[in-house]
């Protein structure tokens, strides 16, 4: 399905979990099984989740662990529905996080109905707003993930503007961006190999020219 796209010089966006996992290391995943919120907040796995049903200033909380098992994976984290009042769920991350990703859904828990909507996401490191499309029905769900060369301290999810569709998160994952060889290092290896080859050729010619 989705792939990845470079959003800026430091952030890469993924809409496919497997590709995000390939680009990530030391992954820790929270599946919300057996978790319980308190006062619109959930602290689990070193991550502090808070849900708000208004924005400026945040007034009123809206966050719970929903155990409907609609997607066949048990409990999920349920946040507010959207109605242009700045509703959101913010996850404050522990130190040293350079990659984050989550399954994302929009659903009406009493229907039950799962909607194809477009919630949005914002990282702590810049002001970019990223779309995180969800999938209708209960056979699949959307995913949004990021890797960065700058530490990510929080990620905020905003539900689509639909008062009947609550935001849902599951398999919330954090980790490190996988280390890849820099172009400079690769260039140095190639140059070194080339110099070594030249030296060997010259030595071979000199040995052949001796009587």
pLDDT top residue among 177 and 202: 177
d(CA 139, CA 1): 14
pLDDT top residue among 115 and 200: 115
pLDDT top residue among 203 and 13: 13
Angle at 205 between CA 204 and CA 211, to 5 degrees: 105
Q: How confident is the model at residue 83 (pLDDT cuts 50, 70, 90)?
A: confident
Residue range 84-91: mean pLDDT, rounded: 91
Residue range 12-18: mean pLDDT, rounded: 97
Q: Are 47 and 89 in contact (CB under 8 A)?
A: no
Radius of gyration of the chain (CA): 23
d(CA 185, CA 191): 10
DSSP of 107-157: EETTTTEEE----EEEETT---EEE----SSSS--EEEEEEESS---EEEE
**pLDDT above 50: residue 111:** yes
**pLDDT above 80: residue 49:** yes
Strand 120-123: give its sheet, edge to edge. Answer: 41-44, 47-52, 88-92, 154-158, 120-123, 129-131
Give me the residues paired with residue 131 across strands.
120
pLDDT top residue among 178 and 52: 52
Question: According to the model, what pLDDT value does residue 110 have?
Answer: 87
Give me the sign of the Cα torsion angle 6, 8, 11, 16: negative
CB neighbours of residue 197 within 10 Å: 10
Residue range 14-27: mean pLDDT, rounded: 97
Residue whose entry in the numeric block shows the structure tokens 């509703």:
87
Q: What's this model's pTM, rounded to 2 decimal places?
A: 0.81
Q: Determine the CATH number of domain 4-180.
A: 2.60.120.430
Residue range 111-139: mean pLDDT, rounded: 95
Q: What integer best gives the mean pLDDT of the chain?
A: 84
Closest CA to 170 of 89, 92, 95: 89
Q: How confident is the model at residue 74 (pLDDT cuts 50, 70, 90)?
A: very high
């Amino acid at each position: 399905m989705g792939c990845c796209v470079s959003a800026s010089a430091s952030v890469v966006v993924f809409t496919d979990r497997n590709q995000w996992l390939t680009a990530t290391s030391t992954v820790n995943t929270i599946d919300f099984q057996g978790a319980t919120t308190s006062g619109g907040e959930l602290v689990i796995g070193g991550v502090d989740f808070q849900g708000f049903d208004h924005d400026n200033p945040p007034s009123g909380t809206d966050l719970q662990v929903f155990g409907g098992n609609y997607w066949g994976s048990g409990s999920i984290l349920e946040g507010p529905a959207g109605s242009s009042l700045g509703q959101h769920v913010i996850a404050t991350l522990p130190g040293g996080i350079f990659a984050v990703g989550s399954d994302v859904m929009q659903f009406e828990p009493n229907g039950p109905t799962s909607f194809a909507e477009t919630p949005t996401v914002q990282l702590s490191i810049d002001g970019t707003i990223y779309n995180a499309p969800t999938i209708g029905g209960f056979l699949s769900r959307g995913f949004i993930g990021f890797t960065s060369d700058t530490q990510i301290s929080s990620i905020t999810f905003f539900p689509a503007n639909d008062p009947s569709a609550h935001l849902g998160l599951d398999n919330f994952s954090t980790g490190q961006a996988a280390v890849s060889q820099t172009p400079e290092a690769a260039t140095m290896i190639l140059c070194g190999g080339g110099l070594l080859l030249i030296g060997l050729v010259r030595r071979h010619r000199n040995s052949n020219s001796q009587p």
